[in-house]
Structure 1
């Protein structure tokens, strides 16, 4: 007979990748997933200069628990909460808030969780742990909308400030153009088709070998061992 396959409406294999920016404390995107699956798969790339921020939050179906992924001190912290069980928490990666693009792949099954950072063969973190994975129907990236903070998204992690692209949920590429046109999911205070991060350390304004350190809002110069002081290491000690 005539057999046809239909991809979910949020998948478009021909859509080119482009970045999105989370510029304010109210920024977030919410996209659909495939509910009631016993395997959870999420991967995306991100870029940030802030040491902390919420990357992902999703509730499991039927009140089975939730998944949270956030940045903390340059690492990715992953938390799985299952109803009636002790929370599973672990970290992966290092120096991930250096302003460069980094990729994250997470795969959770009934008996294990695997996280791969930057597609490096030596980077996978595998946690063997009994999980009741039952995917929900919504995924939140970058922050929680205040209107559902106590319902669909209730993370206490600070909001993410940075950029994302190549977002895949349950093995499907999220069509960010549909999100932008408000035909898929929803969002608030987002910038599309751009990565609006300012690199305040290029060029390096720190003089005499000072080390430039930056966040999304400002930069400071580490003048230690230079023999100079001042905002840009320009004054003799």
Structure 2
């Protein structure tokens, strides 16, 4: 795959462009590390995901072995968000829609003190409230996506939710990771390939032409006989049909 950014000891460090795609092979020991997300109070983390896999770890962060954590999983093709504050019973919210159909989906995790909500493709999938004595979440760890590092696997006492080690690594593609609208830069990775959004992993099907417009990929379905976000639906409109992913 074509890539931007610099390779340091197996870790590609990006400039933060939303045009780049991270490809995860689902192998053991893979991980992508982003800066600490200050998810204590009111904050939003967003990204786009594409996968054919039914299960895998998408997101994990915690207070390094004390009480607070947040994890987002693929479970039977749907998303499951689980979190805790101040060692309270973890709260959970799951998506009603599946995201393992091979199409790009926009995911939004919103922290609001004791509450956390989950959106998929602009629609609220649900929210949950943790019954904790403290209302703000403490975060010390980096934000891990696609898996956690072997060092953490080998040190369960550093993990607030040690069960995260039992989840399969994510297989698929992630792009457009942002916190409160600002691009989150990948600080390090292992087993992750960095490519352009319109590289071999692009989503345009049936001969649709992919291009990056305003840092987003768009599919031109003209003359393909199809329409939709990725030129996979029905018949094309009689005039040029340009859609934004």
Q: Once the two structures are superposed, what CA deviation does each residue of 1:63-120 show, in whole Å capped at 9, x if it has no partner?
A: 3311010001111001113343111122014221000001110111224222110113
Contact 2:93–2:118 (CA<8 Å) still a contact in 1? no
Contact 1:40–1:133 (CA<8 Å) still a contact in 2? no
Q: How far off is 1:36 after superposition?
A: 7.5
Q: Once the two structures are superposed, what CA deviation does each residue of 1:102-140 show, in whole Å capped at 9, x if it has no partner?
A: 1110111224222110113xx341334454323334100
Q: How far off is 1:24 after superposition?
A: 3.9
2:56 corresponds in structure 1 to 53
2:176 corresponds in structure 1 to 166
2:139 corresponds in structure 1 to 135
Alignment of 1:62-101 (within 5 A): 63-101=66-104
Q: Which runs of 5+ in 2 are unaligned?
A: 1-12, 207-245
CA distance in structure 2 between the partners assigned to 1:91 and 1:157 by the alignment: 16
The alignment covers a number of residue pairs equal to 182
Summarize the Cα distance change of 1:143–1:102 in structure 2 as closer, same or farther, 3 Å threshold. same
CA distance in structure 1 between the partners assigned to 2:149 and 2:64 by the alignment: 19
Q: Which runs of 5+ in 1 are unaligned?
A: 1-9, 180-184, 203-237
Q: How far off is 1:16 after superposition?
A: 4.2
Q: How far off is 1:157 after superposition?
A: 1.6
Query: In terms of Rg, which structure is larger?
Result: 1
1:126 corresponds in structure 2 to 127
TM-score, with structure 2 as normaliser: 0.64
TM-score, with structure 1 as normaliser: 0.66
Alignment of 1:194-205 (within 5 A): 194=196
2:189 corresponds in structure 1 to 187
Contact 1:24–1:161 (CA<8 Å) still a contact in 2? yes
RMSD: 3.2
2:9 corresponds in structure 1 to none
1:227 corresponds in structure 2 to none
